[in-house]
Amino acid sequence: MIQIQTKLNIIDNTEGKKAQCIKVYSGKTANIGDTILISIKKNQPQLKSKIKIKKGEIFKGIVIQTKYKKKKKLFNEYLNFDINSVILVSSQKKPLGTRILGPVSNQLRKVKQIKLLSLASAII
């Protein structure tokens, strides 16, 4: 679960590296598939990137991985990730990057984020 002031990793191929949650749009905590407002804390400059991201800029993001997930999968298996991660999206909820570097949960299908599943390298 993501709260305000939570440190996040950005796992798409934009220039952002680390971020911090500023606001959760859906209540007090955010789970996989929820939209949050983030501030960039660390970036990785790249020459060929179309979108120039600077430290301190504010973007919307969609939560992709969380350390804590209270929902069970089939056969009493729990799905946990090692890091809290997010991808950057525009105000129309279109992803800014062209790839997602890492696995994503199949729970995004329920939240109508099919475009994000097509960009992912692996679906769990």
Q: Give per-residue pLDDT as tens, 102-114.
A: 898 888 888 888 8
Instruction: Give phi and psi for 81, each to the nearest 5.
Output: -110, 165
Position 80 scores a pLDDT of: 80
Please say if the pLDDT value at position 69 is more than 70. Answer: no
pLDDT greater than 90 at residue 78: no
Of 78, 65, 89, whose CA–CA distance to 14 is shortest?
89
CATH topology of domain 7-97: Ribosomal Protein L14 (2.40.150)
Report the distance separating Cα 66 and Cα 31, nearest Å: 7
Provide the b/e sequence for 79-110 (b: ≥16 CB within 10 Å). Answer: bebeebbbbbbeeeeebbbeebebebbebbee
79 half-sphere exposure, CB direction, 13 A CA radius: 17
Looking at the chain, the whole-number percentage of residues with pLDDT higher than 90 is 46
Q: How many residues does the chain have?
A: 124
Range 66-82 average pLDDT:
73
Q: Dihedral, CA atoms, 67, 102, 7, 64, nearest 10 degrees?
A: -70
Q: What pLDDT sits at residue 22?
A: 96
What are 114's two structure tokens? 């099919």
Residue 73: pLDDT over 80: no
